[in-house]
Amino acid sequence: MIRQEGSLRPSYKKSVIRRIFGNEMDQEIRDIIIKHGSNILCSDTFKGTFDQTHHYKTTVGDHILGVTVEAVKVCLRHNQTDDQTLGNVVTSCLCHDLGIVGRDEKYNNNFETLIWHPKHSAEVYKELTGEEDERVLDAIHSHMFPLKLPMPKHREGWILTWADKISASMDILQIPPVTIEEREELLELAEQEQR
């Protein structure tokens, strides 16, 4: 069942929690995501992520955006703001769960999903971008650590696996990582960037 749009609107209490745990998307974060991820955001593959439920209450696409916002915040907080790191982090985040789209047809159960979706996401990343960056591939392959090996080898992988856990927790608590307005604005800006 796909979440109704209205349920993406946070209550006052949940808005406060969002501020504390930090998935608010300010201008700086939005600009970084657009600069490094608009090609992925505009792809048909990415648009399809909003049709599949994830973590019971959200969609794959909204979860991915929450992860990306959280990861960029970590980069800003720890001065990891060179273009290469930000580009790798945004790309890794936007692609890390693309392989899970179509899970009911691909996997027989949650265990198979856990084992295989990072590998399939890495394949989607290569196909979608035409790139095979070793650090991005490592981040995508290791994003389920510590639930699953391998452990990340590079900082991009550690940032992604951290952001994934934060965003997944917020999904399960039904605190929207990214609101409808933020999601729509981001997708619109990405379209403008690609024109």
Question: How far apart (Å, rounded) are the C-alpha atoms in residues 158 and 59?
Answer: 23
Q: How many residues bind Fe ion (CB under 5 A)?
A: 2
3-state secondary structure labels for all residues of 74-138: HHHHCCCCCHHHHHHHHHHHHHCCHHHCCHHHHCCCHHHHHHHHHHHHHHHHHHHHCCCCHHHHH
62 binds Fe ion (CB under 5 A): no
Nearer to Fe ion, 12 or 147 (CB): 147
Task: Report the SS3 class of residue 59.
Answer: strand
138 binds Fe ion (CB under 5 A): no
97 binds Fe ion (CB under 5 A): yes
Quote the tokens at residue 58. Answer: 């959200």
Binding mask 150-169 for Fe ion (x = CB under 5 A): --------------x-----
Chain-centre distance of CA 68, in angstroms?
A: 5
Q: Which stretch binds Fe ion (CB under 5 A): 24-32, 42-50, 79-87, 90-98?
A: 90-98
171 binds Fe ion (CB under 5 A): no
**Residue 40 CB, nearest distance to Fe ion (Å)?**
15
182 binds Fe ion (CB under 5 A): no
**Residue 118 CB, nearest distance to Fe ion (Å)?**
6
Task: Report the SS3 class of residue 144.
Answer: coil
